[in-house]
Structure 1
Amino acid sequence: MKKKLFCYGALTFALLMSASFLSVSAAQNLPTLGDTSREELSPLMERKLGEQIMNSVRRDPDFMDDGPISEYLNRLGNKMLEARPDARGETTYDFEFFAVRDPVLNAFAFPGGFIGFHSGLILAAQSESELASVMGHEIGHVAQRHIARMLTSQKFDSFIPLAALALAVLAARTSPDAAMAVAMGGQGLAIQRQLNFSREAEREADRVGFQILNDSGFDTAGMVSFFGRLQASMRNYTDNAPAYLRSHPLTSERIADIQARMLDQRYRQRADSLEFYLTKARIRVLQDSTIQGLMDAKVFFETQIRSEKEEDKIAGTYGLAFVAFKQLDFANARVLLEQAKTRLEKSQANKNILNTSSMFASLAIDIQLGSKQFELAAASAEKAMQQLPLSRGLVYQYVEALLSAKKYEVAGAYLRDQLVMYRQDARLQNLLAKVYAAQGKQALQHIALAEAYAIQGSWPAAIQQLDIARNEKDAQYYEQSVIDAREREWKELHKEELAEERKRK
């Protein structure tokens, strides 16, 4: 099977933005920028673009919608941002860090503070400082507004070459031959200009990322060690891709630049958190949950628990519990999770993780749900939320447990309270729609679905759900009033968006 190339860095996030989640025609409709990028692509517009992209990302089957993984990545990222709050920009972006299922080493940033990691990259990171170095690098792209600057550079070129190269990079995920065919339609000079700009942006992101890495207390040597591994990886991929798809700058130059910066820094050794190892265990299982993939993961974890390192023993046992859960062997999963927890409680350095992470609680709840112990799962989730009130994953598990236990009134009341605090959470609206469906409240069900579509910016689908709700027999005066108000509001917003698109043509 031919190897894939999926670029890592400044070029990748711009290409993904312009081709994967915005259509080629949408990319052509982006505003043309003058000498100062902020004049026409404001930070607020960047954020809006990023949110539109993420709406599509979250619907992709390769998006890792896993509470513990998401919470770990966001805790790590926000720790780094606390050390350098100026990286959030003048509008103080709320960054979002997420993982996607892909074995190729890659990470990317979308405009407005959305940063993604391939599962393969997280597994390849041999230390938390290495993972943090990639995170700092991508934060650097956002902080330096490279999206706006790259679009500014397009003032001198047609959008067609950028779109052609974007499609080629995406096609390379499944077929290098298709990638070459698509990319050959682009114009070489414009592509070279784009690559030159990306090299400059990569070096700039390295410098910013290095400073963030250092200020947040991580080992800056992690950046050098990871880049070295990335350099070796790229040698394996480039044979099957056209030269201009090799957007990664000369890695040796970047490594030399970072090594020079390290000369002024005191040596700092930082211990990896147990949560880093547990995250890798979950990702290893979720990256390939086929029968063979689970068997391979089991072999890996059985080897890992023979390590002398306590973190490896705990993470390996936890990984075996997760494999057993995925294999629907809930009894064995429960035993293995208890074994991992017993090891953890004996470890003075790591036992506090039970109070700071949902890793153990979340898997315990999943095992209870799988075993059809729905009321126990709901009670476990409720207790865990008291300990970890900011865990969104536990919120969703709690509602799923209530739904499974047929406690619809409790679930509905809880969801409505949550939506007061988290108005833009489409998943909460979808769960509320499930509750209403179970209660036979059809008008409210379709109103909730409409709200979920509206949060995602899918105005036609949202308005269609309102039409369905209006015609349901149980749509009373209150529901009709809500439908009419939402319809007026959303039609106006949709009209404004269409007008903006026409202006850009």
Structure 2
Amino acid sequence: MTALALCAAAACAIAAPAEPQKKPDNSLPTLGDAARQDLSPVVERKLGEEIMRDVRRDPAYLDDDPITEYLNNLGNALVVAVPGARGETNADFSFFAMRDPNLNAFALPGGFIGAHTGLIVAAQNESELAGVMSHEIGHVSQRHIARMLGQQKQDVLLPLAAMILAALAARTSSDAAMGVLMGGQGLAVQRQLNFSRDAEREADRVGFQIMSAGGYDTTGIVGFFKRLQTATKMYGDIPAHMASLSSHPLTAERITDMQARIREIPKKPRVDNLDFQLVRARARVLQDESVGGRRDTKNAFETQLKEGHRHLQAGAQYGLALLALRQGNTVEAQSWLDKARSTVKPKEGVFSTESNAGDGATMFTGLALEIKLAPGQPSSVVQGAVQDADLARQRYPLSRALARQYGEALIAAGKLDEATRYLRDQTQLYREEPKLHDMLAKAYAKQGKIALQHMALAESYVVAGALPAAVAQLELARKAGDVSFYDQAVIDARERELKARQKLEKEEEKER
């Protein structure tokens, strides 16, 4: 997709480079002053954050820790592969998934990059997925949003945000998308589309550099490209009038350009990490949990079990384990998980089957904890999950998903004092993780500490950008019967700060 509103409704955002290049050039271009003058990095990031608040409220937003962690590990590894990939704004990238069968990916202002589950499932190897993400990183690093706005006035900022959201909503309501294109927006859309074609060519080149420098097999993109080209229904459920905004024509010329560029560089065969197949399986399960969807998912995994590659077999077994867990069958879930572990490394023990974090270690461990913490499990199993989660977070300290699972295990086991101590420390270290604040609020609620519960919820709303809701939670905390003098002082100071931020945001909106 483009880096703009038209990106969300466009077809998958991988594209072939516009021109063959004899030598790979890892130095990314620098933009001129015009772009910076029209949209500052601060405003660009703020716009992206505003859009993400609404995206996270979309039912299609997939709030799944293992998938999010995988996408961020993959995406950020690509970002660091090429000096300058963060662009002149030194963008802080964030990657997320949307529950959607369409083969889409898109970049939003400020470094937010989304991938549809359909894209993750359709990718046959990690290089294909890396190609898509590299293309989107290229949009961000080249500041295509700022450059497009250099051709327009600042007052289109809010319409652009609205268009992105309408495009995301178009999956379920064509009226939402149609409304965006009415009221004089047609000309602006056309200008964006004209610009986007040039932006796509630039993102093609930059994305190719990034994935090549990251050590991925660039030939994988061509195969994925051809599958998209021959697909009988390119845009899934996206209405035709939105699909027509696509800036990603999958032409034979672009495929030829990609092939020409590939011939100029050494081939880089790459063995995928097991994590890729496990994430594909997880995305397939979570993409459609209707009765029919689960039936189709099970059939797909049963077919995949017949594949000769052990990683494919383990991915199918992992998927069947998650599918059984989502259906409430913990015994069957554990059985399939054990089979998946045995398929790749037939050893005994909770941790002995995984040695490297890229070989399914955190995902196997995380699913094992999910099973032990599932509703209806005996107290002894839940208590055992605390010890397992503690070992897991120490063994894999970089996994935020496992760190949060340890907090969940403490709460589930009734170790509330330990839970609040741990989660307070975590919220200080990772202030931008709303789940931590929510978990802390849950622990306080179980302890009957109502004032602290509302104060923790207030911080969760702050992270989500919902300042009015955060202030409302502070008011509830102030009125709680167990509020202390110290709590009152903290509440007063925080409320003044948040109201000042609200005032500033309103002033900025008026200036737009």
Q: Could you state the TM-score of these two structures normalised by the residue count of structure 1?
A: 0.87
**Aligned match of 1:385:** 393
Measure how far apart 1:42 and its partner are: 1.8
Structure 1 outlier segments of 4+, above 6 Å: 156-161
SS of residue in 2 equivalent to 1:105: coil
SS state of the match for residue 251, structure 1? coil
1:447 maps onto 2:450 in alignment: no
Distance 1:294 1:244 in 2: 28
* 1:322 match: 322
Q: Percent identity?
A: 53
Q: Does 2:247 align with 1:248?
A: yes
**Alpha-carbon deviations, 1:144-195, whole Å to 9, x = none?**
0011112222239967986886576445413557745753554544432221
| Matched residue, 2:311 | 311
In 1: Cα distance, 2:4 partner to 2:231 partner: 18
CA distance in 2, matches of 1:480, 1:237: 54
Query: For residues 197 and 478 of structure 1, what CA distance do their matches in structure 2 show?
Result: 56
Structure 2 partner of 1:3: none
Instruction: State yes or no: 1:426 paired with 2:419.
Output: no
1:138 is aligned to 2:146: no
The more displaced of 52-61 and 317-326 is: 52-61
- Partner residue in 2 for 1:203: 201
2:2 is aligned to 9
> Which range moved further: 80-89 or 232-241?
232-241
CA distance in 2, matches of 1:406, 1:205: 51
Q: Deviations over 1:263-296 (max 9, x none)?
A: 3112222222211111101111011122322222
- 1:97 is paired with a residue whose SS is strand
Question: Structure 2, unaligned stretches of length 5 or more?
Answer: 10-31, 348-352
What residue is the counterpart of 1:86 in the other structure?
A: 84
Give deviations 1:403-427, integer Å, cap 9, x for gaps.
1111110000000111221122222
Structure 1 residues 456 and 240: CA distance shift in structure 2, 3 A: closer
**Structure 2 counterpart of 1:484:** 492
1:245 CA displacement = 2.6
Greater percentage in helix: 1
Check conservation: 1:453, 1:462, Cα contact below 8 A. yes
Q: Assess if the C-alpha contact under 8 Å between 2:3 and 2:108 holds in 1.
A: no
Cα separation, 1, equivalents of 2:184 and 2:259: 37
Say which is worse superposed, 430-439 or 58-67, in terms of deviation.
Answer: 58-67
In structure 2, the residue matched to 1:262 is: 262
Paired residues, number:
478
List per-residue Cα deviations over 1:195-245 (Å, max 9, x = no partner): 111111111101100011111111111222222222334754499613883
Deviation at 1:11, TM superposition (A): 4.5
Q: Please, which moves more after superposition, 51-60 or 466-475?
A: 51-60
- Select which of 346, 365, 368 maps to 2:369: 365
Whole-angstrom CA distance in 1 between matches of 2:428 and 2:414:
23
Q: Secondary structure at the match of 2:153?
A: helix
Identify the structure with bigger relative contact order (alpha carbons < 8 Å, sequence gap 6+). Answer: 2
Q: Aligned partners of 1:354 and 1:40: how far apart in 2?
A: 43
Greater shift after overlay, 150-159 or 300-309? Answer: 150-159
* Compared CA separation, residues 402 and 274, structure 1 to 2 (3 A): same
Secondary structure (helix, strand or coil) at the match of 1:99 reads strand
Q: Give the corresponding residue for 2:14.
A: none
What's the RMSD between the two structures over aligned residues? 2.7
**How does the TM-score come out when normalised to structure 2?**
0.86
Task: Quickly say closer, same or farther: Cα 1:237–1:483, change in 2 above 3 A.
Answer: closer
Distance across 1 between alignment mates of 2:169 and 2:241: 12
Tell me how far apart the structure 1 counterparts of residues 111 and 163 of structure 2 sit (CA, whole Å): 23
- For the residues of structure 1 that align with 2:311 and 2:163, how far apart are their CA atoms? 43
Local SS of the residue matching 2:80: helix
Is the 1:301–1:320 Cα contact (8 Å) retained in structure 2?
yes
CA distance in 1, matches of 2:158, 2:92: 32
Matches within 5 A, 1:119-158: 119-155=117-153
Aligned partners of 1:177, 1:90: CA distance in 2, in Å? 38
